[in-house]
Structure 1
Amino acid sequence: MADKYANFAELSASETYGVDYQIVFESRPSNIIAMAIHGGGIETGTSELTVDIAGSLYSYYLFEGLKSSGNQDLHITSTNFDEPNALRMVGEADYCLTLHGYADTVKHTKVGGADHDLKQLVYDKLTEAGFSAEILPEGTSLAGSDSDNIVNKDRRGMGVQLEISTPQRNAFFGINTRADRKNTQTAEFYAYTQVLKDILSSI
């Protein structure tokens, strides 16, 4: 389905900040940033994952849908996502990890982005930890290899994009609602984020 808005200027002209969407970020003295540009109600669970991975060490950025329904209207595809704070923050980082969600019927993670070595490491460590994952061929849908993708706009021009299936994201929370996600994170949630924290700490 095509995005309703082609860029952030179009979105912000029609949607109300603090009612329909919000932007949350924290700059840390780190060269690593974790991002959920489709957070909140857009691709549920990606905000919570991002915040936990960043912890107190890494910078993070969230663009979150706040609507009671229709949050898909707030989806701006990664190659068009140009919210100024996001562009500034990723441009100040050497490493970028973005977390997304996609619809599927099985628990799975699609690993993309232009950083081939880090993609391989993420795939290896996720599968070693028992998670289903694959590396997407460059140029295919959801592969995140386009230079215009925000994940590849860090100082090295390459990052890692994770597309996490709906069942996998549901498994991260006892109750997958906006009110309850923060308080019902499961052991599977922490096992998944720990894999990524260990990788980032090794960079």
Structure 2
Amino acid sequence: MPFEPILSRHRDVMSSPADNYKGFTDLATAQVEGTDYRVHVRANAGSTVAVIAPHGGSIEQYTSDVARDVAGADFNLYIFEGIRHAGNYSALHLTSHRFDEPRCLELLSSCDHVVALHGCAGDVQQALVGGLDEPLKAAVAKTIADLGIDTRLRGHQFPATDPKNICNRGRRGVGVQIEMTMALRLHGPREAISAAIRSVLLALPAV
């Protein structure tokens, strides 16, 4: 499937407390770990691949599930999950170029390949792929597109080219970000998407 540029589906625009966070320190001052959010880290000493969901749980629904399925038992896994009864996005969505949670940074410091799973608004099933790791980005986009999913490499709102974007903070300074629309997360083949991404990562040469 070709990757024609289109206008992306924007996230819902709203004013929220998280908009004012300059980094994780601000979030942690305003929110309580174990009550508002939790952090899951599973390091795999034999892998230099990290799969992360920095807006997991109820912040961006189903991204935790996809991250776990992609990582399996083979790759490093990091998930920041919103567990509030309500208002998870507005209180806990620390934008990706400000996401500097220390446990995540520590994990990524020993990883050469990083794939970040995200969710965005949209009533059309689409995967919007960004990041600075051009070869891995292209391979991931192709394998998702091969499932018949409308997959975009460019011309969307989430290029993830800021070096401070959490997907680009592995030790090579490049990574991949995958934004899945709400329609894709709710009604799309999540298990097939996870398996497709996982297959690309399993095929990476050992470092």
Fold similarity call, TM over 0.5: yes
Match in the other structure for 1:197: 198
The answer to whether residue 118 in structure 2 is matched with residue 118 in structure 1 is: no
Which sections of structure 1, spanning at least 5 residues, go unmatched? 173-187
- The answer to whether the Cα contact below 8 Å between 1:20 and 1:66 also exists between their aligned partners in 2 is yes
Moved more, 150-159 or 140-149: 140-149
d(CA) in 2 for partners of 1:141, 1:80: 17
Aligned partner of residue 63 in structure 1, secondary structure:
strand
Taking structure 2 as the reference length, the TM-score comes to 0.86
**Matched residue type, 1:134:** R
d(CA) in 2 for partners of 1:124, 1:11: 36
d(CA) in 2 for partners of 1:121, 1:52: 18
d(CA) in 1 for partners of 2:72, 2:24: 27
The answer to whether residue 74 in structure 2 is matched with residue 57 in structure 1 is: yes
d(CA) in 2 for partners of 1:129, 1:166: 17
The runs of 4+ residues in structure 1 deviating greater than 4 Å are none
How many residue pairs match? The answer is: 186
Match in the other structure for 1:152: 168
Match in the other structure for 2:52: 35
Aligned partner of residue 109 in structure 1, secondary structure:
strand
Match in the other structure for 1:79: 97
Deviation track 1:138-186 (CA, whole Å, cap 9, x = no partner) reads xx631111111111111111111000000100025xxxxxxxxxxxxxx
d(CA) in 2 for partners of 1:11, 1:36: 17
Taking structure 1 as the reference length, the TM-score comes to 0.88
- The answer to whether the Cα contact below 8 Å between 1:102 and 1:163 also exists between their aligned partners in 2 is yes
Match in the other structure for 2:7: none
- The answer to whether the Cα contact below 8 Å between 1:5 and 1:74 also exists between their aligned partners in 2 is no
- The answer to whether the Cα contact below 8 Å between 1:107 and 1:168 also exists between their aligned partners in 2 is yes
Aligned partner of residue 142 in structure 2, secondary structure:
helix
- Output the aligned Cα RMSD: 1.2
- The answer to whether the Cα contact below 8 Å between 1:40 and 1:63 also exists between their aligned partners in 2 is yes
- The answer to whether the Cα contact below 8 Å between 1:34 and 1:53 also exists between their aligned partners in 2 is yes
**Matched residue type, 2:112:** D
Higher relative CO (Cα under 8 Å, sequence separation at least 6) belongs to 2
**Matched residue type, 1:13:** T
Which sections of structure 2, spanning at least 5 residues, go unmatched? 1-13
Deviation track 1:83-106 (CA, whole Å, cap 9, x = no partner) reads 100111111100000000000110
The match for 1:166 among 162, 182, 187 is 182
d(CA) in 2 for partners of 1:23, 1:145: 25
Aligned 1:70-109 pairs, distance under 5 A? 70-72=87-89, 73-109=91-127
Aligned partner of residue 38 in structure 1, secondary structure:
strand
